[in-house]
Each structure stands twice: as structure tokens, then as C-alpha cells.
Amino acid sequence: MKKRIVVALGGNALGGNLPEQMEAVKTTVKAIADLIEADHEVVIAHGNGPQVGMIQNAMTELTRSNPEKYPMVPLSVCTAMSQGYIGYDLQNELREELLDRGINKGVAMLLTQVEVDPKDPAFDNPTKPIGAFMSKEEAEELAKSKGYKIVEDAGRGYRRVVASPRPISIVEIDTIKALVDADKIVIACGGGGIPVFKTEGNNLKGAGAVIDKDFAAECMAEALDADFLIILTAVEKVAINFGKPNEEWLGSLTPEEAKKYCAAGEFAPGSMLPKVEAAVKFAESKEGRVALITLLEKARDGIEGKTGTTIKM
């Protein structure tokens, strides 16, 4: 049966630099095209952790070279830049893949703003990893020279972390809905969306943060009344006791079961935890909605109930 699906792609799955990204999206779009070929409506969100860090580092170096000519570029603007260059590759490769399969559908990347609360406690407790992985020595030097907060990221190395407030609403949601209803494929909420908050009148001001793409995708999935939220990651299923001798891979969970594992500290913050929390929120939002966490190449099998971790009431 035809489903409306929001797919959340991890920023790390898109490569750490431009050549890697151009190569990675060739594989990424094949899995997405499989869902479209199966006659599902697909909306794509993506992360930008490596990319936004790379962009901000480049902008910072430019500012250092000539601060009067090149003022500091806000993190929100760096997110907008990342939306453009990631979306550019995704929409071109997906369009080509679909045409190669004889499917003539419009694909559009929409620059997307996402409203956050300026009083969100996340601004006082940065947790969202961005930029490249570093050694401990590199991390200590960056923390000392730039004052960044650096954390160890799920055993994979050290990364800078920034504030990650929860999304309240998607500014361009009516436009996204119109495109989806017109049978177009939309790439939106890239990098979790450009974080903004309301000021005087109708003004929106950029926030110095990066919204977690899984929560942004969940917010969009609810607003679009989607049937499925697919959160793609580096493992086929969610595990408890991850990396330990008693590691256990999970197939189907209720929101209550998933919450218990979250409370027990089974999932790493900044890694699997936000994915599970976003999946729970979507599954609880309406009877019949299903969240799926799995590998990119297993997305279609997951929709068919063959693999992945599903969370549903």
C-alpha cells in the first residue's frame, strides 16, 4: 500500500567533504529511489554534522585573515549553506536515478527554517556533535585555542558540540505540503533546519545552534501526517548492551519499552539516543504511525517488516 514516508539521512552518511559526498549520494539515492519506485510518497531530511563544522571552520579562518572585511558568519548561516550544497547533490543525483528508472518526478530542495525556543535549556548545555572526528590531542588543542566544548563521541573519536534545541514548528511547512500533495519529492529540513526564533513583529532571527535532524524530521513527519518515519543510521537494528558480550539487537518495540531503555542509559547521547527518542515521539503522536530505525540499504526491507527496529503503539 502507498505510504507517506519521511526519511532522515545522517550527515555522516553523506561524507566528510565534497568529493566524499558526491560519491556517497550515488549510493544514497538508490535506496530512496527504491521507495519511490514502490509508489510511496517520500520526503527527505538530512543531517549536516560534518558539513556545517567544515563550513564554519572555513568561515572562521576567513574572518581571522581579515576581520574587518569578513565579519564572523553565524552558525545559522552556515546551516543554510550546508542545506544548499548537500541538497544540490541529493536532488541532482536522485533526479538522475529516477529518470534512469523511467520515473519522471520533480525533485526539489527547499531551504527550510525551523522555529526554536530561545529559552530552551539546550542553549546552556551543548550536546550536538558537529565537524570532523579528532584525536584527543587535537580536541584539547581546539578547546584551548577556540574555547569550543569538545566531547568523546560514542567511541569514534572527539568532536565539537553545540546547542541542539528541540524544534517547535517548521516555517515553510505549507510549501512542503503543497509540493508533496502535488506528487513532488521534497528535500527539506536539511541539517535539522535553519534554527530561528521569533522577535518583534514577524521577524525571525537565526539562533547559534544546530537542530538534531531526527527531531526535525519527526516534527515534519507529524505535520505532514506521514505514515512512516525512517531514521537511517550505521546499524541495521538498535541494540541494548551495545558492544558488550551480551549485546542484543531489537526488532519491534513499543514506545514504553523504548522509553525504559532510554531511561536506563542504553543509548549514547548525540548518537542513538536522539534517534530512539524521535522515533518514540512519532509513534506516540497518532495510532498507526510507525517509526523505523535501520541501515540505508535496508530501508525498503524495513518498510516491508523484514528487518530494522520498528517502534509503534
Set 47, 128, 270, 281: catalytic member: 128
Could you tell me which residues come within 8 angstroms of residue 265 by beta carbon, excluding any fewer than 6 positions away?
Answer: none
Cell numbers 552558525 correspond to what residue? 75
The question of whether 237 is a catalytic residue gets the answer no
Among residues 104, 203, 218, the alpha carbon closest in space to that of 166 is found at 218
The question of whether 12 is a catalytic residue gets the answer yes
Set 47, 190, 275, 302: catalytic member: 275
Among residues 209, 185, 200, the alpha carbon closest in space to that of 113 is found at 209
Dist CA 139 CA 147 (whole Å) = 11
Set 10, 11, 53, 131: catalytic member: 11
Set 10, 213, 237, 308: catalytic member: 213
Cell numbers 523484514 correspond to what residue? 306
Q: Which three cell numbers stand for residue 204?
A: 525571525
Among residues 231, 148, 149, the alpha carbon closest in space to that of 189 is found at 231
Report DSSP state, residue 156: S
The question of whether 286 is a catalytic residue gets the answer no
Dist CA 190 CA 82 (whole Å) = 8
The order of strands in the sheet holding 128-134 is: 128-134, 158-162, 149-152
Q: Under a CB-based contact definition with an 8 Å cutoff, are residues 108 and 179 in contact?
A: yes
The question of whether 275 is a catalytic residue gets the answer yes
The question of whether 11 is a catalytic residue gets the answer yes
Tell me the catalytic residues. Answer: 11-12, 128, 213, 275
